[in-house]
Chain A
């Protein structure tokens, strides 16, 4: 027992500060040790094992709570200036995501009279708009919220953490939620059409989950037969991964560029220009793949790769400029 306790305490000591260790973790471990010893003294072996197992779970939960509390405290200690910039970024991002989602919903709604008869179908259109609106909205938010500022490391960390979280959310959306929503939307569209069930049963490639896409690509490689253009399948597969990472790549790009822009028109131009270039690269990559000029992987990752390279180049140039000039010592003997 004492070895197990020592390991737990050593783990907590690595993560938490001394006060938390002494006032939160040590009492927990001391009580656990007493309870375990008491069960053993009474000869209740299984009870003591259960106490030890449950004690580990309680320990992990307590450490997580302490760490969350510390994180909240650290967040509360942020300088007002950083906090204001972050809030501005979040507000702008959320607004831009909401507006972009609404705008992207308009075209399919205008073309679909049945949408009014089944309002639920509007919900099925949201995922396809969100996967584009999130990277676009975050880019606009970062450009606007952090414009003309020397971005502190903590602000950068917070923005990147949000971007990574949103990238994971986008991945889940592209891999599973979007195909399901698309399929449900088709079901709504075709339910009143004679023979519609047969059409719905045949999924389009936009209705295939990531796993199903991978399976179809594998099947094509084995048999040489595919329901769709195999290049389109491969491109769609790689593009879902690439588009998931777009939020992080575009956030980093916006972080790098935003501090160089002060005027409102420059910020607007920068954000819109970034999105336009990304969009053009997206279609260039797709066209390259469909015209057999680029492998599907390269075409799908083209925008992310080029933006990442520009980021690296700008950061490298900035760090070279920031280095102090070398001191030339006079030659000895003069």
Chain B
């Protein structure tokens, strides 16, 4: 029998950071996220986290063709979804109420 319980929306610290960066910049590549995080995000895990966040519906992505002379694989540009923005707002609000000292 299928599990009919509503899915719990969760947001890890890394996911929260990625959403914050994406909301600020309105779309970034994985590598840009690693650089912008100032070492908080690692290259070995950021793509896995991004893939998981896409599955959860927090972010969306589109492929950007590389310049014709460069060739190779198209790069993937990530953007926050409306759900992602709402979850981030709710999360930041909840953390702010429970632990004000952690909110910047």
Asked if A49 is at the interface of the complex by the 8 Å CB criterion, the answer is no
Kindly identify which residue among A9, A20, A26, A31 contacts B31, using a CB–CB cutoff of 8 Å: A31
- Minimum CB–CB distance from A64 to chain B (whole Å) comes to 9
Asked if A142 is at the interface of the complex by the 8 Å CB criterion, the answer is no
Asked if A5 is at the interface of the complex by the 8 Å CB criterion, the answer is yes
Kindly identify which residue among A33, A54, A62 contacts B72, using a CB–CB cutoff of 8 Å: A33
Closest-by-CB residue of B relative to A2 is: B72
Asked if A27 is at the interface of the complex by the 8 Å CB criterion, the answer is yes
- Minimum CB–CB distance from B82 to chain A (whole Å) comes to 20
Inside 8 A of B47's CB, which chain A residues have their CB?
Answer: 24-25, 27-28, 62
Asked if A14 is at the interface of the complex by the 8 Å CB criterion, the answer is no
Asked if A199 is at the interface of the complex by the 8 Å CB criterion, the answer is no
Considering the chains assembled together, what is the distance between the CA atoms of A20 and B50 in angstroms?
11
Asked if B10 is at the interface of the complex by the 8 Å CB criterion, the answer is no
Instruction: Using known A-B contacts A30-B76, A31-B31, determine if residue A24 contacts B66 with beta carbons closer than 8 Å.
Output: no
Asked if A66 is at the interface of the complex by the 8 Å CB criterion, the answer is yes
A residues neighboring B (CB under 8 Å)? 2, 5, 9, 20, 23-31, 33-35, 37, 54, 57-58, 61-62, 65-66, 69
Considering the chains assembled together, what is the distance between the CA atoms of A35 and B29 in angstroms?
12
Query: Which chain B residues numbered 13 to 44 have a C-beta less than 8 Å away from chain A?
Result: 29-31, 43-44
Sampled A-B contacts (21; CB under 8 Å)? A2-B71, A9-B73, A20-B51, A23-B76, A26-B74, A27-B30, A27-B47, A27-B75, A27-B76, A28-B43, A30-B66, A30-B72, A30-B75, A33-B72, A34-B31, A35-B31, A54-B43, A58-B44, A65-B44, A69-B48, A69-B52
Inside 8 A of A5's CB, which chain B residues have their CB?
Answer: 72-73
Give 1 or 0 for each of B34-68: 1 = CB within 8 Å of chain A CB.
00000000011101101110100000010000100
- Minimum CB–CB distance from B59 to chain A (whole Å) comes to 11
B50-A27 in contact (CB<8A)? yes
B44-A62 in contact (CB<8A)? yes
Asked if B70 is at the interface of the complex by the 8 Å CB criterion, the answer is yes
Considering the chains assembled together, what is the distance between the CA atoms of A66 and B52 in angstroms?
10
Inside 8 A of B44's CB, which chain A residues have their CB?
Answer: 57-58, 61-62, 65
Instruction: Using known A-B contacts A23-B61, A27-B30, A58-B43, determine if residue A34 contacts B75 with beta carbons closer than 8 Å.
Output: yes
Considering the chains assembled together, what is the distance between the CA atoms of A66 and B61 in angstroms?
19
A31-B50 in contact (CB<8A)? no
Considering the chains assembled together, what is the distance between the CA atoms of A27 and B72 in angstroms?
11
Given contacts A20-B51, A30-B74, A31-B31, 14 further A-B contacts (CB under 8 A): A5-B73, A9-B73, A23-B54, A24-B47, A24-B48, A25-B47, A26-B73, A26-B74, A27-B50, A29-B73, A33-B66, A34-B70, A61-B45, A62-B44
Considering the chains assembled together, what is the distance between the CA atoms of A24 and B45 in angstroms?
10
Instruction: Using known A-B contacts A37-B70, A58-B43, A65-B44, determine if residue A23 contacts B75 with beta carbons closer than 8 Å.
Output: no
Inside 8 A of A30's CB, which chain B residues have their CB?
Answer: 66, 72-76
- Minimum CB–CB distance from B104 to chain A (whole Å) comes to 28
A-B pairs, top 4 by smallest CB distance, nearest first, are A61-B44, A27-B76, A31-B31, A30-B73
- Minimum CB–CB distance from B84 to chain A (whole Å) comes to 16
Inside 8 A of A61's CB, which chain B residues have their CB?
Answer: 44-45
B45-A65 in contact (CB<8A)? yes
Considering the chains assembled together, what is the distance between the CA atoms of A35 and B74 in angstroms?
13
Instruction: Using known A-B contacts A58-B44, A65-B45, determine if residue A24 contacts B51 with beta carbons closer than 8 Å.
Output: yes
Inside 8 A of B30's CB, which chain A residues have their CB?
Answer: 27-28, 31
Considering the chains assembled together, what is the distance between the CA atoms of A27 and B54 in angstroms?
13
Closest-by-CB residue of B relative to A54 is: B43
Instruction: Using known A-B contacts A5-B72, A30-B74, A34-B66, determine if residue A24 contacts B31 with beta carbons closer than 8 Å.
Output: no
